[in-house]
Amino acid sequence: MTAPRRPRPAPVPLPGARPGRDPDRAIKRGPRRVSAEVVAATQRDRLFDGLVQEVATRGYDNARVTDICRAAGVTRPAFYALFTGKEDAFLAAYRHGIAVVSQLMENAYREAGPQWPDAARAALRTLLEVLASVPAFARMALVEVDAAGPAARRERDALLTSFRRFFVDAGPVDNAVDRDLLVSTVVGGLYATIRSRVAQGPVEELSQLLPVLTYAATAPFLGRQTASRATHPVRPDGPAATAPCAEPVAGRADAAR
């Protein structure tokens, strides 16, 4: 007898997908009805949203703690009870958001079926569509991370290293080619292309990169013909993916085909 499938946990919102002053997360005045831990967690999430929006709009260097607190509807003392400063808050929001995006990509990769080209395309599609659904997070995480200091850049490098796991199931390469270096080159190229589009905009049209990124990801391992088939699958894509709590962007699913 097949064991029942466990329900997937509720999705975790991506920082920047909601306004920091979201009324649904307002902390009511009066007799305390929630614990201090819940209050702190709510303030932390609102600060994540406020930080992402402010950094994306003003740039990391110009986004002040005062601006972030105002956007989140959180006091400066509450901010400094949670973070040591702007850099600490940026790193926390970045790590949290990247974990959300990575998990969505992992889910898409595993659910795409046994064929690696299909799985790789599904992960790329999810990445592009989730970033397109929250442009502020895309800009904060791919562009402004470069200005946030050496610790943030180390986090970015660790992220690129982690993306190598999506190539474990790729086919073999010519013996004359260093496979690890090839994977690093492909991952770096994919990231640079996505970052460039985010920097130049419009972020909402990221899905248009899916065909060329799929080809670039698969051709070095499978050859031109197989990569071409992966780039243009027979079965149409399903509904566009969005970050948790983000509004779908009309037309993205069609643009990705």
Domain final residue pick, 38, 60, 86: 86
- Say how many Å lie between the first and final Cα of the chain, rounded: 39
Other beta carbons within 10 angstroms of residue 250's beta carbon come to 9
End-of-domain residue from the set 71, 86, 101: 86
- pLDDT level of residue 10 (50, 70, 90 thresholds): low
- The CA angle 136-184-166, to the nearest 5 degrees, is 70
Secondary element (H or E) of residue 61: none
Q: Are residues 53 and 103 in the same domain?
A: no
Tell me the per-residue pLDDT of 123-173, one tens digit each, with 9 for 90 and over. Answer: 999 999 999 999 999 999 999 999 999 999 999 999 999 999 999 999 777
Tokens 């027979």 belong to: 234
- Same domain? For 123 and 44 the reply is no
For residues 21 and 40, what is the distance between their CA atoms, to the nearest angstrom? 15
- Other beta carbons within 10 angstroms of residue 38's beta carbon come to 11
Q: Read off the tokens for 122.
A: 């599904």
Q: Would residue 227 count as lying in a domain? A: yes
Domain-terminating residue out of 68, 86, 104: 86
Phi, psi of 233, rounded to the nearest 5 degrees = -65, 155
58-94: pLDDT as tens digits: 999 999 999 999 999 999 999 999 999 999 999 999 9
| 152: enclosing H helix or E strand | helix 150-162
Give residue-wise pLDDT tens across range 163-193: 999 999 997 777 778 999 999 999 999 999 9
- Whether residues 182 and 232 fall in one domain: yes
Q: What is the DSSP letter of 205?
A: G
CATH number at residue 74: 1.10.10.60
**CA neighbor of 129 nearest in space, from 254, 215, 3, 28:** 254
Q: Six-digit token pair at 249?
A: 């962007």
Question: Does any domain span residue 18?
Answer: no
User: Which uninterrupted H or E stretch holds 36?
Assistant: helix 36-58
- How many independent structural domains does the chain possess? 2
> Which residues form the domain of 34?
23-86
* 104 and 122 together in one domain: yes
Same domain, 137 and 247: yes
**pLDDT at residue 253, rounded to an integer:** 41
What pLDDT sits at residue 227?
77
Question: Could you tell me which residues come within 8 angstroms of residue 218 by beta carbon, excluding any fewer than 6 positions away?
Answer: 116, 117, 120, 121, 170, 226, 227, 230, 231
